[in-house]
């Protein structure tokens, strides 16, 4: 139980030093410059002179500030990095590297593409997620066969990814990308024929597209350009669904909207918790789809 400011007794440590009033048992030689209660390093808040305890900061004049509180933050609470586009560059490089590997290794595309369950005559073996090859849900996100395919996807990654990474921060942006791609793959696996292969970063790119819609709405930008782009992409998706996995596009888009909304609109007091729960919910939904389809095909 916290003691009131000015209490005549303070908890004592085992070596004669007082214990932090918020964490009994933690010895400290630091005291709050306002109420003079002992505080540990986790509780001390930098002030213009010395340190203050969290309660004095909350109830005082606001001159104190937590360590790192003056560090620039993104709209989602992420740290502003020196290179705000680093993760986008890395993701682009990984996609290009895998594409080059596919061109150099004959059967690599067949070993990494997303497929539910089939006998691949080119490999002469049973393949698919049902056969225990769960990694295909991830590797297929970075896999492309045609130059036009990787070209369009990497253009989308570069155009959409850079402002999103700058707005969200590296960790949140990477979570958005990977979870959107996974959700797109999970929905494809759930609804596609088990022997129908699927590959490409389109699910993740559609997740970035959905997140861009949420971000632009948050800042009250002109929504017409992004909505036209979204409508055009959805039209192409369903018009040419004989060669396009619409499930990956829709799954990634829905996941991107949900994740971005949770990240950008999370209340400041519980921002990290809300963001983590949102990402966890999308991950859980993806795993449920994967497990349900696997059980159905087993």
Task: Give the pLDDT confidence of 201-242 residue by residue, as tens digits.
Answer: 999 999 999 999 999 999 888 999 999 999 999 999 999 988
User: What tens digit of pLDDT does each residue of 167-177 get?
Assistant: 999 999 999 99
Say if CB 249 and CB 234 are below 8 A apart: yes
* Reported pTM: 0.77
Backbone dihedral region for residue 85 (phi beyond 0: left; psi -120 to 50: alpha; all else: beta): alpha
Separation between Cα atoms, residue 170 and residue 88, nearest integer Å: 9
Residue 68 has pLDDT above 60, yes or no: no
Separation between Cα atoms, residue 38 and residue 29, nearest integer Å: 7
% of the chain at pLDDT higher than 70 = 88
pLDDT of residue 2: 45
pLDDT of residue 265: 94
HEC string for 221-232: CCCHHHHHHHHH
User: What tens digit of pLDDT does each residue of 12-36 get?
Assistant: 444 456 888 888 878 777 778 778 7
Residue 151 has pLDDT above 50, yes or no: yes
pLDDT of residue 63: 47
User: What tens digit of pLDDT does each residue of 31-65 get?
Assistant: 787 787 888 877 777 765 567 788 877 766 444 44
């Amino acid at each position: 139980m916290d003691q009131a400011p000015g209490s005549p007794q303070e908890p004592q440590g085992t070596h004669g030093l007082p214990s932090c009033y918020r964490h009994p048992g933690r010895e400290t030689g630091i005291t709050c410059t306002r109420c003079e209660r002992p505080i540990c390093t986790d509780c001390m808040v930098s002030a213009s002179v010395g340190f203050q305890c969290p309660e004095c900061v909350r109830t005082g004049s606001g001159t104190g500030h937590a360590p790192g509180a003056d560090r620039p933050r993104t709209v989602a609470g992420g740290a502003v990095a020196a290179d705000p586009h680093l993760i986008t560059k890395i993701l682009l490089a990984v996609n290009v590297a895998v594409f080059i590997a596919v061109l150099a290794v004959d059967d690599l595309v067949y070993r990494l593409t997303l497929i539910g369950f089939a006998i691949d005559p080119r490999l002469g073996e049973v393949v698919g997620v049902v056969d225990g090859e769960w990694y295909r849900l991830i590797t297929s996100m970075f896999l492309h066969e045609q130059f036009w395919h990787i070209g369009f996807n990497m253009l989308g990654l570069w155009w959409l990814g850079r402002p999103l990474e700058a707005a969200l921060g590296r960790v949140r942006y990477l979570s958005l990308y990977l979870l959107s791609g996974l959700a797109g793959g999970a929905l494809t696996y759930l609804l596609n024929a088990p022997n129908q292969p699927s590959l490409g970063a389109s699910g993740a790119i559609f997740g970035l597209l959905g997140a861009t819609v949420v971000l632009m709405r948050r800042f009250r930008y002109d929504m017409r350009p992004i909505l036209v782009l979204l409508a055009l992409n959805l039209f192409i998706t369903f018009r040419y669904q004989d060669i396009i996995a619409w499930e990956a596009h829709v799954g990634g888009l829905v996941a991107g909207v949900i994740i971005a909304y949770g990240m950008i609109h999370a209340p400041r007091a519980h921002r990290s918790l809300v963001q983590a729960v949102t990402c966890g919910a999308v991950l859980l939904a993806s795993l449920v789809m994967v497990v349900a389809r696997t059980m159905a095909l087993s």
